[in-house]
Structure formats: C-alpha cells, structure tokens
Structure 1
C-alpha cells in the first residue's frame, strides 16, 4: 500500500512565537492572522494526508483575526489563546504523520482523526466571538 505524501516540510516552516496574552487596549490582528493562516496551512497538509484535499475557507473563517481584534477584550484574548492551543496541537500531530509517511506507512486514518480534531477546535474558537 502506498502512503500519500505531501510537500509540506516542517523543517522549513516558520514557527511563530505565541502571541502576547493579557488584555490590550488596541488589539493587533497581524500576528494573529499569521498564526491563523499557519494552522490552516498545517490543516491543508493534514487534509491531503487524509485524502480529503484542501478545504475551501469561508470569509467568516479567514476573517476571524480581524473580527476578534474589533471585538477586543476577553474575546480577543480567548481567540489568541485558542489559536495558540490549536497550533500546539497541530504541530506534533503533523510531525508524526509526516514521519510515518516518510517511512511508507499509510496515515489516512490518523490524519482523518487529526483533521476532525482540528475542525472541532476551530469551531470552538469561532464560537468565542459569538459569546455574549
């Protein structure tokens, strides 16, 4: 059985430091948007390994960092922490999948599990902005 490969190489990936936490008067969405994009690039790699391909992203999903900055306060800080947690989950999972793929192992089932975990966590992050 041939394992799917993916050109995503963590050796050349830029791992961004966690964003600052704590309430800010004027939230900056730039670094948050970079991290949000990075976790979606990792998710795209996982989607390919799960034989699902790249997910088309809605404006609501891609605009989350900006919406969080506008909302501000605890909503913004919770989104920051959520994205940091999501990145912390995706990095070792993707590393493990790529390692197994390099060894010729079929990672479809494991990648699908990580894909589902990503979507569950992302939905929780998006829901933060809907909280009162």
Structure 2
C-alpha cells in the first residue's frame, strides 16, 4: 500500500466517523454502511491512477468541508439551539459527495472488480 492510498484509507475512515456524528446531530438513525462503502479504500486502490488521484483529492475536499461544518454544528448544539436543520443539510452534502466518490469505482463484472497482480 502506498502512502497515498494509506492517506486515502485513513481519510475515508475519518469521513465515515464524521458522517456518523453529523447523522446523530441531524437526529437520524445510525447508518449501516454498504459493503461498497466499507471496502472503498481497497476497491479504489485497484483502479486506474486517475481514479485513485481523484478519490484522494475528493476525500481531502470533503474533509475540508466536514471539519468546520461539524465544529459549527457542535457550537450551535452547545448553545442549546436546534442544529438539526443545518446538520441535515450537511448530511445531504456528505452523502452526495460520498456517492460521487463511490461512482469513481468501475462497474464490477461477474468476477468482481479488476485486480492487478
């Protein structure tokens, strides 16, 4: 595993945790991530370099949105104000961005994703 794929894997895991926090603040039930979501770092690692690079950049960009968003939500929540509408908006952005990253995975054939030796 290269340092770039390791960084993507760590960011992906951190984004999953951030998504769980936002969902909780939005009042949503905990999400059961799909196999594709859970395995994304391993699946993207086996794709073309342009897909890996785009996934890495997308993870970094989403992290740059989530960090201040969660900070703001927690500040609103700490003041006793209702942060659910803002949390729901951030949740929708998170889900859309995560889906865009998942869409970087090539369609799997009957034999699964392409693996290189």
Normalized against structure 1, the TM-score is what?
0.75
The ranges of structure 1 where at least 4 consecutive aligned residues each deviate by more than 4 angstroms after the TM superposition are none
Task: State the secondary structure of the residue aligned to 1:128.
Answer: coil
Tell me, in whole angstroms, the C-alpha distance in 1 between the residues paired with 2:43 and 2:11.
15
Counterpart contact for 1:27–1:76, Cα < 8 Å:
no
Q: Which residue is equivalent to 1:80?
A: 56
Tell me, in whole angstroms, the C-alpha distance in 1 between the residues paired with 2:72 and 2:50.
34
Normalized against structure 2, the TM-score is what?
0.84
Tell me, in whole angstroms, the C-alpha distance in 2 between the residues paired with 1:60 and 1:30.
18
> What does the per-residue CA deviation read over 1:50-109, in whole Å, with 9 as the maximum and x for residues that have no partner?
000321111101111111111141010010001111111111110000000111111011
Tell me, in whole angstroms, the C-alpha distance in 2 between the residues paired with 1:41 and 1:77.
22
RMSD of Structure 2 on Structure 1 (CA): 1.5
Runs of at least 5 residues in structure 2 that lack an aligned partner in the other structure:
108-117
Aligned length: 106
